[in-house]
Structure 1
Amino acid sequence: MERPRFQGHHLRAAAGQRPYRITRVQPGRSLLFERVKDYWGKDLPVNRGFNNFNKVAVEFYRDSDVAFEAFKAGEFDIYIEHQAKNWANGYNFPAVNRGDIIKAQVAHQIPTQTQGLFMNSRRAIFAERKVREALGLMFDFEWTNRTLFSGAYKRATSYYPNSEFSATGLPVGHEWLLLSPYREQLPASLFTQPFSLPQTDGRGIPRATLRRALGLLAEAGWKLNGQRLLDSNGQPLRFELLLVNPNLERILQPYVENLASIGIDARLRTVDRAQYKQRLDQFDFDMILMTLNQTLSPGLEQWQYFHSSQVGVKGSKNYAGIDNPIVDHLLEHLLAAQSRDEQLAAGRALDRVLLWQHYIIPNWYLNYHRLAYRNRFAFVTTPPYQLGLSAWWLKSLEKAQ
Structure 2
Amino acid sequence: MRFLLALGGMLCAASVAAAPGYALWGELKYAPGFTHFDYVNPDAPKGGELRLVSNLRTSTFDKYNPFTIKGSAPAYLGDMLFDSLLAGSMDENGAGYGLLAEDVAVAADGLSATFVLRREARFHNGDPVLASDLKFVFDTLMGPYTSPAYKTVLEDVAGIDVLDARTVRYRFKKANRELPLTVGGLPVFSHKWGMENGKAKRFDEVVMDIPIGSGPYRIGPVNFGKDITYVRDPNYWARDLNVKRGTENFDRITVKIYKDSTARLEALKAGEFDLMRFFSAADWARRVTGKRFDTGELVKGEFQHRLPSGFQSYVINLRRDKFQDARVREALGLAMDYEWMNRQMFYGAYQRVVGLFGNTDCQATGLPSPQELALMEPLRKNIPAAAFGPMALPPRTDGDSSLRANLRRAQALLQQAGWTVRDGALRNAKGEPMVIEYLDSNESGARVVSPWARNLEKLGIQLNYRPVDFALYQQRLSKFEFEIMSINYPGTNSPGQEFADMFGSKAADVEDSGNYTGLKNPAVDTLIARMTAAKTKDELLPACRALERVISHSHILIPQWTASTHRMAYNAWRLARPAQVPPYSPGEGWAIHTWWAQPARTSK
Same fold per superposition (TM over 0.5)? yes
Mapped to 1, the partners of 2:416 and 2:219 lie a distance apart of: 66
Aligned to 2:459: 262
Q: Which moved more, 1:73-82 or 1:247-256?
A: 73-82
Counterpart residue identity of residue 251, structure 2: K
Q: Which runs of 5 or more residues in structure 2 are unaligned?
A: 1-79, 83-123, 125-192, 197-207
Task: Indicate how the Cα distance of structure 1 residues 265 and 34 shifts in structure 2: closer, same or farther if over 3 A, else same.
Answer: closer
CA–CA distance in structure 2, aligned partners of residues 294 and 252 of structure 1: 23
Q: Which moved more, 1:27-36 or 1:109-118?
A: 27-36
Provide the C-alpha distance between the structure 2 equivalents of 1:170 and 1:234, rounded to a whole number of angstroms.
40
Cα distance between partner residues in 1 of 2:257 and 2:572: 23
Work out whether 1:237 is the aligned partner of 2:434: yes
Whole-angstrom CA distance in 1 between matches of 2:376 and 2:470: 40
Give, in angstroms, the shift of residue 278 of structure 1: 4.8
| AA matched with 1:317 | G
Aligned partner of residue 81 in structure 2, secondary structure:
coil
Aligned in 2, Cα 1:179/1:67: closer, same or farther, shift over 3 Å?
A: same
| Aligned residue runs from structure 1 range 262-341, under 5 A | 262-273=459-470, 275-341=472-538
Q: Which moved more, 1:181-190 or 1:104-113?
A: 181-190
1:58 is aligned to 2:243 = no
Partner of 2:594: 391
Deviations 1:343-395 (A, max 9, x none): 33322211111001101211222232111223352422122222433434567
* SS of residue matched to 1:114: coil
Instruction: Tell me the equivalent position of 1:342.
Output: 539
Q: Which residue of 1 aligns with 2:412?
A: 215
The match for 2:131 is none
User: What's 2:321 paired with?
Assistant: 124
User: Out of 369, 390, 406, which is 1:172 matched to?
Assistant: 369
Would the aligned equivalents of 2:249 and 2:594 in 1 still touch at CA under 8 Å?
A: no
- Alignment correspondent of 1:194: 391
Return the alpha-carbon distance in structure 1 between the equivalents of residues 382 and 408 of structure 2: 26
Cα-to-partner distance string for 1:216-240 (whole Å, 9 max, x where unaligned): 1122222344633333444433333
Cα distance in structure 2, aligned partners of 1:22 and 1:356: 46
Distance 2:249 2:470 in 1: 39
Residue 46 of structure 1 and its aligned partner are, at CA, apart by: 4.2
Which of 76, 81, 94 pairs up with 1:2?
A: 81
CA contact (8 A) 2:218 2:233 kept: no
* Count of equivalent residues: 391
CA–CA distance in 1 between the matches of 2:382 and 2:280? 42
Match of 1:31 in 2: 229
Distance 1:170 1:368 in 2: 30
With the length of structure 2 as denominator, give the TM-score of the two structures.
0.57
Distance 1:127 1:79, change over 3 A: closer
1:198 CA displacement: 1.2
Say if 1:161 and 1:365, in contact at 8 Å, map to a contact too. no
Distance 1:93 1:370, change over 3 A: same
Query: Which of 547, 558, 581 is residue 382 of structure 1 equivalent to?
Result: 581
CA distance in 2: counterparts of 1:242 and 1:211, whole angstroms: 27
Which residue in the other structure is 1:206 paired with? 403
Give the Cα–Cα distance (whole angstroms) in 1 for the partners of residues 263 and 419 of structure 2: 49
Matches within 5 A, 1:148-167: 148-167=345-364
Q: Work out which of the residue numbers 123, 128, 137 in structure 1 matches 2:334.
A: 137
Residues 347-362 of structure 1 correspond to what in structure 2 (within 5 A)?
Answer: 347-362=544-559
1:165 partner amino acid:
C
Task: Give the helix-richer structure, 1 or 2.
Answer: 1
How does the TM-score come out when normalised to structure 1? 0.82
For structure 1, the residue ranges without an aligned partner over 5 or more in a row are none
Query: Does the 8 A contact of 2:384 with 2:550 survive in 1?
Result: no
Question: Does the 8 Å contact 1:378/1:395 carry over to 2?
Answer: no
Q: Which residue identity is paired with 1:2?
A: L
Relative to structure 2, which stretch is displaced further, 81-90 or 68-77?
68-77
SS at match of 2:569: strand
Query: Does 2:272 correspond to 1:69?
Result: no
Contact 2:309 2:353 (C-alpha < 8 Å) held by counterparts = no
Q: Say which is worse superposed, 205-214 or 145-154, in terms of deviation.
A: 145-154
Q: CA deviation at 1:98?
A: 3.7
Distance (whole Å) between structure 2 residues aligned to residue 46 and residue 334 of structure 1: 30
Once residues 265 and 195 of structure 2 are traced to their aligned partners in structure 1, the CA distance between those partners, rounded to angstroms, is: 34
Pairing 1:84–2:281 present:
yes
> Which one-letter code corresponds to 2:347 in the other structure?
S
Distance 1:21 1:238 in 2: 49
CA-atom RMSD in angstroms? 3.6
Of 72-81 and 208-217, more deviation after overlay is shown by: 72-81
C-alpha spacing 1:337/1:60, structure 2 compared with 1 (3 Å): same
Cα deviations by residue, 1:242-278 (Å, 9 ceiling, x for unpaired): 3343222232232222111122233333344555455
- Indicate the percent of aligned positions where both proteins have the same amino acid: 35
In structure 2, C-alpha distance between the alignment counterparts of 1:265 and 1:327, rounded to whole Å? 31
Alpha-carbon offset, residue 106 of structure 1: 0.7
The alignment partner of 2:566 has SS state of strand
Alignment partners' CA distance in 1, 2:321 and 2:255: 49
Q: Say which structure, 1 or 2, has more relative contact order (CA 8 Å, 6+ apart).
A: 1
